[in-house]
Amino acid sequence: MDNGAGSYRRFLDGDDNAIAEIVETYKDGLILYLNGYVKNIFIAEELTEDTFFRLITKKPKYAGKSSFRSWLFAIGRNVAVDYIRHHSKIIDIPVEDAKNSLLEEQSLEQSYIGEENKRIVCKALRELPPAYRNALWLVYFEGFSNKETAMILKKTERQMKNLLYRAKKALKSKLEKDGFEYENF
């Protein structure tokens, strides 16, 4: 998994199906993110379309200095800022309200990224052996203690500790193999 960079390279090389993959992968998150700027889901959808249109027509260079998603969302942010600049009146907003608005936007973005990371981890979990998957799920997603998980899975605490160690190692290996980035997780 290359977070869209490979698809973008294929698009630049002439594969029109690659842009469809990018749109399908990132459109929902981009809409939610841009909605944080314009506070109107319909306008956010239009700005998302404009973002992908800009990607298709201008074909900006992706240097790889950040994740592809971060780069794409930065383009979307610029589209939203341009929209706001051209379509809004000057409004006197107290500094404290502006700070709160910025914090809400950052919170929405972090929430989306967190959900996306959870989806990736869950996908990797499904590919693990059932014993590993069950142990990790009970401890980290359901919040059971190692002792409670051992009881549920009919293992000793020592067996549970070893099982969790091997399961975490297998999950980490799977995630790294798929190109998962740990920067914000």
Q: What's residue 31's pLDDT?
A: 87
CA angle centred on 114, ends 141 and 20, rounded to 5° = 120
- pLDDT, averaged in runs of 10, over the chain (185 residues): 72 84 87 82 91 89 79 87 77 56 65 71 82 82 81 86 92 82 54
3-state secondary structure of 115: helix
**Rounded to the nearest 5°, which phi and psi values hold at 23?**
-60, -50
Which pTM value belongs to this model?
A: 0.49
Q: What's residue 51's pLDDT?
A: 92
List Cα–Cα distances, 93 to 82, 89, 96, 99, 161, in angstroms: 19, 12, 8, 10, 54
Rounded CA gap, 178 and 170, in Å?
12
Which domains occur in the chain, in start order? 1-91 (1.10.1740.10), 103-185 (1.10.10.10)
Q: What's residue 185's pLDDT?
A: 42
